[in-house]
Each structure stands twice: as structure tokens, then as C-alpha cells.
Amino acid sequence: MKTAKNQWLPSLASILSTAFLLTASLNHAYASEQANNLKAINLTSETVALNAIADHRSAKNISRNQYRHPKGTLAFFGLTSNMAVVEIWPGGGWYSEILAPVLKDNGQYYAAGFSLVAERTPNWRKNYQRKFETKLSKNPEIYGKTIVTDLSIPERPEIAPEGSADLVLTFRNVHNWMKGEYAQDVFNSMYKALKPGGSLGVVEHRAKPGTSLKDMISSGYVTEAHVIKLAETAGFKLEAKSEINANIKDTKNHPKGVWTLPPSLRLGEKDQEKYLAIGESDRMTLKFVK
């Protein structure tokens, strides 16, 4: 029995040693991967910063960097230049001007705009989309590799091939989807487009906690709790929050809702200096993972 016991002990020690080495190796590999990811994000951030002030952008759009913080926002969302990225409803292309050149060589930029074929798309949105697509076609050096898709619920829900995107981004759109009563459908579409482990980045005008659904829709300000609920219902998990787009000067109590503030300035010249002094809206910045 003594011999058998002595034979067993080295075997157990060997197993424990192997397990320890395997764990250490996995931890090292994970740490190395995280370090490489951080390095890629930092390198991409520098490219973002350069494109945010590049010649292909108008002075008007560049002036909004102070409110939109593209470098810090996209770094928070984990953007790297080799990703497949979908932007929902890019509008006039403010972020397209940054994302398209960052991704053109090693990644892929999908611009999921307003649908030109869906019956429910109003004419003003179709005109907006045509202007956006004209903008892309006039500068192939910047936008030549952009893939234009569309989003309209229920007719056109596919923003990119299923499971193809590393990152989906939406900037100040959730209130529009709520008004159209299809916000949950859009979050479902974003979830479907992402790879497992992919991320969703949301920037939205932030309402005070407890704001009613009716007031959210009329004011354009949405509570963080409501956005999180929409995302979690679709299957997402909240990973992190950032205050990079916060504005403590925004009282969120304006005659024309969020559109009272710049850049809209719906009141025209009335109290314009007051609202310019406030700046653009207070915004949540949320990162979710599939």
C-alpha cells in the first residue's frame, strides 16, 4: 500500500502543476490579448482625432467636436480600424466623415440610412438620404468602400448581414424610434446584425429619471432606464456607461424640447445667446454587449 500511495502522489502533483501552468498560460494570453486590443483602440483613436479635423470636413461640422467628443466616444465603444461597423441613420454624415476613412483600409463601414423604397419613409427623410448618398458619391477616396444599407420597420429590418458586425452605433436616434413606435424592433435588428460578443454603442439625449414616456417622445430626451430596458429586452447586456457626452448646464426644460438647443435652435433668435451658452444637450453614452 505504501508503494501504491507513493506512486499516486507524484501523479497528483503532476496534474496540479499542469493545471497551474495552464491557468497561468491562459491568464497571460488573456492579458496579452487585452493589451493588444487596448493598443489597437489607442492607435485608432489617433486616426479618429486626425479625421475629426481633416480637410474633407466642413468648419461647421468640426466645430461640433467640442460637443460630440468623437475621439473619446469611439474609444469608449472600443472602435478599432479592422472592425465591421454599422451606423444607424447617419443623417447628414457627421460621424460618417470620421468612420468611413478610419475603416476603409482594414475594416468595413455600413451606413444604414433612411429607406428610399419603404412606403412609410416620409419624403423629407428620402430627400435627406439622397443628399447623404450624393455626398458619398462625390468623394470616393473617403467613402468609396462604404456599404449603404437602409432601415425601415417593418419592411427593411436588416441593417447588415446577420452576425457580421463587430460594432453597431447609433447617435441620438432612440427618441425617433420611440415616436414611430418601433424602438424595440430596431434594437432587435441591431442585436441580430452583431456577432456574438459584439458591441452596441448608444448616444442619446438624456432625460431626468422618472420622465414619462409621453414627455420623452415630445421632448426628445430619453431616460437611461428606458434605453437599457430596450437593449436588455433585445438580449443585450449593459457593459459600461460614460459621462463623456454629459452637459450639466442642460436643464432639459426647454420650450421646444431638445430642439431648443443648438444645433437646431428652434426658437430662432429668441434667447439664442442663452441656449448657445448651454451648448448641445446632456447625453448618455452606453455600451452594450451581445
2, three cell numbers: 505504501
State the pairing for strand pair 84-88/108-114: parallel
Tell me the H-state helices in the chain: 2-52, 59-63, 65-68, 70-76, 96-103, 123-137, 140-143, 174-179, 183-193, 213-219, 224-234, 272-278
Q: pLDDT class for 268, splitting at 50, 70, 90?
A: very high
pTM above 0.75, yes or no: yes
- Cα–Cα distance for residue pair 214/192, rounded to 1 Å: 28
Question: Which one has a higher pLDDT value, 72 or 33?
Answer: 72
- Helix, strand, coil shares, percent, the chain, to 5: 50, 20, 35
pLDDT of residue 10: 58
- Domain 2-289 matching CATH 3.40.720.10: the answer reads no
- Let me know if 259 is exposed, middle or buried by CB neighbors in 10 A (0-12, 13-18, 19+): middle
Alpha-carbon distance 78 to 45, whole Å?
A: 9
CA distances from 143 to 30, 39, 111, 193, 266 (A): 35, 26, 10, 22, 32
> How many whole angstroms separate alpha carbon 143 and alpha carbon 199?
23
> What cell numbers appear for 270 in the block?
429668441
> What are the residues whose beta carbons fall under 8 Å from the beta carbon of 55, sequence distance 6 or more?
none
Question: pLDDT band at 191, cuts 50/70/90?
Answer: very high
Q: Is the pLDDT of residue 18 over 80?
A: no
8 Å CB contact between 79 and 107: no
| Cα(108)–Cα(154) distance, integer angstroms | 25
What is the tens place of the pLDDT at every residue in 150-171?
999 999 999 999 999 999 999 9
Cell 486590443, residue located? 37
